[in-house]
Amino acid sequence: MATAKKKPARKATAKKPAKKTTVKKTAAKKKPAAKKKTTAKKTTVKKKVAKKPVAKKTAKKKPAAKKKTTAKKVVKKAAPKKKVTKKKATKRKPNPAFMAPWTPSEALAAIVGKKPLPRTEVTKKIWVYIKKNKLQDTKNRRMINADATLGKVFGSKKQVSMFEMTKLVGKHLKK
């Protein structure tokens, strides 16, 4: 009797499933066999492109070892909050040149007085005299009409502007 020899049993190995690749279908229909050939070529090309090495990022520089030096580190601190204090109402200090006493002439002394006065006080007293005697022009308030007393200070002019008045008064003051 002839006995048939049994072949040894094969060991079962786990097969890895094949990777599926997606291929876009074209509008024109091709034969199935030809289609398989073209897809195989495309997949190999894609795999090669995907396997290109990626450029490595540059490594961060390590900080230099700390050296013991006498250099000071600049550290910004928050500005301290200032305390709000109420300022006392102080009078302005006048310029000493304005406060220098001037002696008026006889024509100006009739309006201002004979005592030596600073120029600022002379101007104030002249304006008091003008308002008291209503010598300011009613239509043009910048013009001042001269009366007998003020006419001596203005000279021969009957009407003078405010700015011209101070110039004419300055001629009647002496140090």
Question: Considering the domain boundaries, does residue 89 fall inside one?
Answer: no
Domain count, the chain: 1
Work out the average pLDDT over 140-168: 91
Question: Considering the domain boundaries, does residue 111 fall inside one?
Answer: yes
Domain that holds residue 150: 103-174
Longest dimension (CA), the chain: 172
Whether 48 shows a pLDDT value over 60: the answer reads no
Question: Considering the domain boundaries, does residue 166 fall inside one?
Answer: yes
Question: Considering the domain boundaries, does residue 110 fall inside one?
Answer: yes
Contacts with 152 (C-beta within 8 Å, 6 or more apart), sequence order:
107, 110
Pairing of strands 103-104, 173-174: antiparallel
Rounded to whole angstroms, the Cα distance separating 40 from 21 reads 9
Question: Considering the domain boundaries, does residue 88 fall inside one?
Answer: no
Question: Considering the domain boundaries, does residue 49 fall inside one?
Answer: no
Question: Considering the domain boundaries, does residue 56 fall inside one?
Answer: no
Whether 165 shows a pLDDT value over 70: the answer reads yes
Mind listing the pLDDT tens digit for each residue in 56-115?
Answer: 666 666 666 665 656 666 667 777 777 777 667 788 887 788 789 999 999 999 999 999
- Is the full-model pTM beyond 0.75? no
Contacts with 108 (C-beta within 8 Å, 6 or more apart), sequence order:
122, 153, 169, 172, 173
Helix axes 162-170, 119-132, angle to 10 degrees: 130
What's the mean per-residue pLDDT of the chain? 75
CATH code, domain with 145: 1.10.245.10
Question: Considering the domain boundaries, does residue 129 fall inside one?
Answer: yes
Count other Cβ atoms within 10 Å, centred on residue 97: 8
Count other Cβ atoms within 10 Å, centred on residue 47: 11
